[in-house]
């Protein structure tokens, strides 16, 4: 199983509409990537590791797929439309991490 993690960097002027992200964007991605997309999840940054520090990421999203091939098959044809929705909930430029779930 692989996890596609989308990390939205924090910054003093960073904006992120979590309500839109969890009720509109992620469900849209899941529906467009069905049935390959197995799950969606999201978190909002609260803090960093040092006392009083900001979270490095204002928000993080996760999608799981059975394999890298399943992700590419599902995401590729919908990439343009999915990416075009990003300005509707944030002014940040996300970083993508594709991982193998180990535990």
Give exposure, 43-74, as e/b (b: 16+ Cβ within 10 Å). Answer: eebeeeeeeeeebebbbbbbbbbeeeebbeeb
* Residue found under tokens 């779930």: 101
Among 37, 40, 63, 70, binds a copy of itself (CB under 8 A): 40
Which CB sits closer to a copy of itself, 91 or 99?
99
Which residues, at least 6 apart from 68, have a Cβ–Cβ distance to it below 8 Å?
2, 98
Binding mask 54-73 for a copy of itself (x = CB under 8 A): -xxx-xx-------x-----
Binds a copy of itself by CB under 8 A, chosen from 14, 20, 28, 42 = 42
Q: Contact positions toward a copy of itself, by CB under 8 A?
A: 2-3, 5, 7, 18, 21-22, 26, 40-50, 55-57, 59-60, 68, 95-103
């Amino acid at each position: 199983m692989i996890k596609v993690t989308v990390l939205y960097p924090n910054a003093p002027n960073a904006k992120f509409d979590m309500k839109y992200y969890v009720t509109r964007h992620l469900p849209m991605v899941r529906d467009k990537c069905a049935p390959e997309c197995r799950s969606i999840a999201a978190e909002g940054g609260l803090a960093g590791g040092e006392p009083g520090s900001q979270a490095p990421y204002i928000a993080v999203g996760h999608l799981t797929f059975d394999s890298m091939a399943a992700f590419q098959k599902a995401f590729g044809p919908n990439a343009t439309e999915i990416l075009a929705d990003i300005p509707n909930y944030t002014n940040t430029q996300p970083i993508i991490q594709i991982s193998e779930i180990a535990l």
